[in-house]
Every structure is written in C-alpha cells, then in structure tokens.
Structure 1
Amino acid sequence: MSTGHRPNLAGGAPRRTARAPVWLLDVDGVLNTRRPLWGSDLFRGTARAGNIDWPIRWAPALIERIVRLRALGLVEVRWCSTWCTDADEIENLFGLPPLRCALSADQLSTVESTDDLKRAAARQVLASGRRLVWTDDTAVPMPTLARARLSAGGRALLIRPHPRRGLRPRDLALIEAFART
C-alpha cells in the first residue's frame, strides 16, 4: 500500500522531446533512497516485483522536479533499471505517467548484473544522435576512460549519486542546465 503522492501532471505530454536529451533514470539508489536530501518531506510505500513487496522511500520534491522537466519537454525520461519489468508499480507509486523502458524483460532475464546492459543502453542513445542524461548509482562509470568516452563532446551528463542519498537538488539543477543548452 502506498502513502504516495500524485505530482501535478497538468500540461499533458511533453512538448519538445525530439531534440531533448534522453534521461536514463535508475530507481534504487537514485530515487529510492534511505536519506534523500530534499528537505524533511519523505514518502514511503511499497512496490511489488517478483511476488515480493519492496519498501520504497522517496522525496516528493524530487519527483515533482522530474515531472516538471518532462512536462516542459526538456528531457525524455526512460527507465533504465531492474524495475523496467515492473515499471507500472513504480509509476503508480510515484504518480508518474507511463514512461519508456531502456531495458526489456528478455534482456533483464538473462543477466545477474545489469550494469553492462545499462551501459549499452547509454551508448545506444548516443549512437542514435541524441544527447544523454544518465543517473545511476552503480552503472555510471567512475572517472575513467569509459566515462570520458561516453561524455566526449559534451553530449552526455553522467551523474552517479550516493546510493543512500540519491539525486540531490544540485543534480537536478545540472540536468536542467544541460537540457537547456
């Protein structure tokens, strides 16, 4: 059962996603965190996956910022998470509209670790000619040659948040600034 929150989705579908960067968005460690740094307002609920009810904790202000960036057409948000097979659970809990998934159920069923799949999804976005925003607490490479290749030419913004704190207000400010350039 959710003690969730429905962000204001007025304005319907985003306006200009064709040019907007694709935002590959992870859930656990990015949105679902122990101590999000968005003020004292913290929501809790459960989402079901694999016949298990998983506890989810999130900052409604973070979800509202994501909704706003999407509604303005500044980003095209795609799930890039083990939650892709149960994305509707997360969307319902957070009060989000259905979003595309970067990972298929078939892909997820064949691997133990999804980091390589997520990296391939990031490379695919860039290969399609789109700019990339990627937020993931494990799969985004640390400062290495792989990270430098992904972000070459300023076409990608890679954010690897602390898994207990997730995305912070300053991360969303960076995402918005990147999307507006």
Structure 2
Amino acid sequence: MEKKEIAEETPAEAANPELTPAVVNCFEWVESLVTALIVVVIMFTFLFRIVTVEGTSMIPTLYGGDRLVVSSYFYQPKQGDIIVLKRTVGLAKPIVKRVIALPGQKVDIDFTAGIVYVDGKPLDESAYIENGITHEPATSEPLLTFPQTVPEGHVFVLGDNREVSEDSRFKAVGMVDERYVLGKAELILFPVSRFGRINK
C-alpha cells in the first residue's frame, strides 16, 4: 500500500481549511508587516528618536526643518559629537549643539582671535564653521567669563553658527548636565536631498 504524503498546514489553513493559497499568503504578509512594525516602534521608543531642528544655530551643518535620527541607548557624549539636549533652566525647548569639552576639561575662548581652546590647545573647527573662527555672539545677554573648567557630569556645547547660537557661552545656559542629553544625532532623515550620516 502506498503512503500518501501529507502537506503541512499553516496556522491560517488549520483554522479555516477553505482558505485559498492566495489568502493564506496575504495573512502571512500582514503578519510579517505587523511584526516589523512592532520592532520599529520598539526601536524608536527605546533606541532612537526623531528630532526636528529648529532655528539657524547649527548652520552650515544642520538647517531648520532637518529631521534627525538620534541614538539614545546608553549614549556617553564624546568631543565633537552633535547632540540633542532636553529643555534646561536656560532653554525653553530642546536644542541641537556640538560637544566642545567634556568633564574636567578646561575651555577658553579668545573672541578677538576667534579661537576656542580646550586644555590649552586650539580646536581646528574649519570643517564645520566658516574659517574656523568663533565670533562673539550678536547679543547683549551676559556671557561666562573664560577660562572655565567643565564640572563632572556636565558638557560644554556650542552651535556651529556661533554668531546666533544660544549655548554654553551664555550664563543662562552654561555647562549642560549630562542628564539633559537625549542622545547623539546620527542621520539626517529629511529632506531627502540632505539624507545621510552626520559627519563631525
């Protein structure tokens, strides 16, 4: 007597034996889509955030309206990183800035020469600010007196558009507590014309 091969049934077929292969494939496709969607939601809830840049303080690196992918999982700030900060005492809303100095480092700014020093060494910032020169902010708001040493658990941040950026030079902002750091800006997601990784 010949043995007949028995085809394995999918869960959808077992539940309803009258389903056609096309319908079963549709169920499987929807199941895969829902699973992928759940994974994406989990990733963007715990690992990544989408943040929109507001204002002009990071030009020419970032522009108002740019949408960024920000990694936030166990992130530890590094010098040169572009980070997103939650609202602090001196800021009304989240901001995007560049990390200039880390805890224990000494920051000095020579506004006459337009040079930022960290631990006595001039920073080469020509890759992201015009001529690598740090202009004095075009505002009457009180500034910190330099040099300054970054306290433990804090970072010193500046915007790339130094003339208009509200950042750690101002007494109202000052050194930023690392607890306010949402994460590192990794990628420009939108507009499509500017899509790509954010370089230091």
The alignment's TM-score, normalised by the length of structure 1, stands at 0.22
Query: Rg: which structure is higher?
Result: 2
Q: Say which structure is richer in helix.
A: 1
Q: Say which structure is richer in strand.
A: 2
